[in-house]
Amino acid sequence: MAELNLVLLGPPGSGKGTQGERLNEDLRLPYYATGDILRGAVRDETELGREAKEYMDRGDLVPDEVIVGVIAERIDSSEALDGFILDGFPRTTPQAEALDAKLSELGRGVTAVLLIDVSDDEVVRRLGGRRTCEANGHVYHVEFEPPKQEGVCDIDGSPLIVRDDDKPEVIRKRLETYHEKTKPLVDYYDSRSVLRRIAGEAAPQDVAEQIRRTLATLRMEQDEAV
């Protein structure tokens, strides 16, 4: 396989970040979290970064074409010659179309879109169980990483609170938005035969193994097609 250009999809709490970092280590490919790329372009004061900052300073959404341009700056670089891992973009079908058009200009394309499937109930369980230290932001989980004393931070003894965005009703609202925007995007990539579904409710190491097997199968398919 000449290059491996991957897009990670999945709801909040699906573990995309964890799997992106694992792929970065396993494949030695750059891992691009879109928010980090955008902030980096603003910090480095690239032409597109300055343009993005104007929108951000006004409190406006950064247009898709600007975000795609910022991503293209990173993709069209020596560090991404063998491929890349993109997390957080695209989020909508128009964004996917814009990304495909830009990649086509560069003579490249998306190799695979890894959709990490996690049910809404599991997302609520994962995110809704988080507890945050009121004083210094230390994070716990009532099930996966509980404090020694319920409701109290192990480190500084301050109360643990449920942040607004960790409340079940807020999480479910976020999930509604995710499904509304993502279903057409999933259909878009499925119609292009690049979508691969990963069962995301397994343990992180098992999810990583699924992804490795999926990519190995993809390599064999592409080798056979040559």
Burial 154-178 (b: 16+ CB within 10 A, else e): eeeeeebeeeeebeeeebeebbeeb
Instruction: Tell me whether residue 16 is one of the annotated catalytic residues.
Output: yes
CB 98 within 8 A of CB 185: no
Q: Single out the catalytic residue among 39, 91, 172, 212.
A: 91
Contact criterion met (CB below 8 Å) for 49 and 42: yes
Q: Which two tokens stand for residue 18?
A: 């964890």
Nearest Cα to Cα of residue 85 among 160, 197, 173, 6? 6
- Active-site choice (39, 53, 74, 163): 163
In Å, how far are 83, 125, 198 from 171, measured between CA atoms?
Answer: 33, 10, 22
Residue of 16, 22, 108, 125 with catalytic role: 16
131 flagged as catalytic: no
In the annotation, is 108 catalytic? no
Catalytic residue among 39, 167, 172, 174: 174
Active site residue 91: yes
Active-site residue flag, 163: yes
Q: So which residues are the catalytic ones?
A: 16, 91, 130, 163, 174
